[in-house]
A and B are shown apart, each in its own frame.
Chain A
């Protein structure tokens, strides 16, 4: 994100400017000013066609009752007013927001503990870190498939048989509306915590060692040192990880679709799985587009607030 600011003052190319003196002809100068755009053209075409155009078209579609082959029917804001009065959507929004907060907070907490535990230059720590990071690189579909098996609700399920060994369970996990969303959060935390661990370790490495030494001299114990030195030093990183995680959390789809399909009884329906269901099952494209447009607006708003807030804090 820092590129946003540095870009305001691009690298100066003095030599180039000096040489583009009066001897150059008009076509040459025109060619020179065209060059950057020629290099940018492929990217601009791909982003324009497959990112910006769909975003704009989505907002346009949200104003219609979309009927492929029959012609679209103008609805005005009807799709949007419908969102206000849709209990299924409200439930989906609630699940999504709750899931975003819990999985991000949980991943950060676990990631932080992992970072404290596995920080250090020793070789065995490096190997352990590499191993622990594996869940973060594996495709979400494979992760979901794995945990779908491990969390089988019956007594033979791997996790349930472990719980059985210590006299607990069997728990229903994904099979019960009461525990399904929480179970999905556990899977998400398992996948995302190692990622946060790496970020936190980078932050820990950046902390001035002398501060730690000073603490030992002052007779501070490990907890005081953690509270007074480590946590404050990690605060900027924490904020970024938190907000990026929340924004990402709003568009959760794959793990929910694979683990529960939004069930049981709609207990894990997220905004995007609801959108998908409206398109594929109900064929209600205009309404789905309206929900997507609101989701896009929410994402942009969150990002803008974040950027503003960061700039505000840096200036303060």
Chain B
């Protein structure tokens, strides 16, 4: 039995004292679950209710199961927002991971003048998130005639230091012998990259995909600046737009928020192992 920091471990023999402790622990678990899970659950339960809650009211049990709130939200632009967000995340993530993998190959497997400077410069961009450079970025996108376009939403998020950092660390650990053997067989850099390094880096690529998805899905300030017509709204903009209009009830607003929430949760639950590995490898938050 492993000891934990609090020294919590299951006893070999049960006594009344152990029973008391167990009750305390179960109560603590219940409190934790209530604080972190019940709000999320109430959001889902309210979204799928037929009844319309008063402002600020949520249901713990759906009041009459119905897709009414969802369909209303759908008619108010949520479908379009979902489509736009999916386009942005698909293209953006593909570009982000591809560009990062190429860069990481050079940084991890090549010796060249300026390698450490390049890595330092790329990591330094961790300090330049959209929030800090939003104004010049907005003007730049305007000058490139990309306002209110998909490229305007996608191109700024392609360059991200985190996947480069994760992939470089991972590719460094691939044994040299494999590469040497391939070179003796006459393989060039591109071939080695695509046939050897990329397949071996799949777990790290998965980690980058999870983080990239969450990062792009979370985007708010950039779309807020770039999007000018409802047809280009991303899902985050639709959700806050519904809330701001004040015309829709709580049910419709929460239904839209549920649609925004579900893909992130599915990705996280599906790829949890990859996600946690990435989280701990750098303990970096974008």
Which residues of B sit under 8 angstroms from A154, Cβ to Cβ?
55-56
The residue that A142 contacts in the complex, of B123, B189, B260, with Cβ under 8 A, is: B260
Quick one: which of A4, A61, A128 contacts B120, CB cutoff 8 A?
A: A4
Contact (Cβ within 8 A) B108 A11: yes
CB-based contact A303/B127 at 8 Å: yes
Label chain B's interface by main secondary structure. Answer: helix
| Chain A neighbourhood of B283, CB < 8 A | 199, 202, 237, 240-241, 244
Identify which of residues 144-160 in chain A touch chain B, using a CB-to-CB cut-off of 8 Å. Answer: 145-154, 156-158, 160
Q: Which residues of B contact A11 (CB under 8 A)?
A: 108-109, 111, 172, 176
Binds A, one of B11-19, B63-71, B199-207, B235-243: B235-243
A102 close to chain B: CB less than 8 A? no
> Is there contact, CB below 8 Å, between B165 and A3?
yes
Kindly state whether residue B79 has any CB partner on chain A within 8 Å.
Answer: no
Complex interface bits, B213-257 against A, C-beta within 8 A gives 1, otherwise 0: 010011011001000000000001001100100000010011011
Instruction: Please encode chain B, from 106 to 143, with 1 for each CB lying within 8 Å of some chain A CB and 0 for all others.
Output: 11111110011011111111111101111111111010
A258 to B223, CA, bound (A): 14
Is the CB of B23 closer than 8 A to any CB of chain A?
no
Find residues 122-172 in chain B having any chain A CB closer than 8 Å to their own CB. Answer: 122-129, 131-140, 142, 155-156, 158-159, 164-165, 168-169, 172
A198 B56 Cβ-Cβ under 8 A: no
Chain A residues bordering chain B, tally (CB within 8 A): 114
Interface size of B in residues (CB-CB distance below 8 Å): 108
- Work out how many contacts link A and B, with CB atoms closer than 8 A: 324
- Is the CB–CB distance between B128 and A296 below 8 Å? yes
Interface residues of B (CB under 8 A from A): 2-8, 28-29, 32-33, 35-37, 39-40, 42-43, 46, 54-58, 98-100, 102-103, 105-112, 115-116, 118-129, 131-140, 142, 155-156, 158-159, 164-165, 168-169, 172, 176, 180, 183, 189, 193, 214, 217-218, 220-221, 224, 236, 239-240, 243, 250, 253-254, 256-258, 260-261, 264-265, 267-269, 272, 275-276, 279-280, 282-285
24 A–B contacts from the bound complex (CB under 8 Å): A7-B107, A10-B115, A11-B172, A39-B106, A42-B102, A51-B133, A51-B159, A57-B140, A119-B4, A119-B5, A134-B40, A135-B40, A137-B268, A139-B217, A139-B264, A145-B257, A150-B56, A190-B35, A195-B279, A253-B131, A276-B134, A276-B221, A276-B224, A296-B132
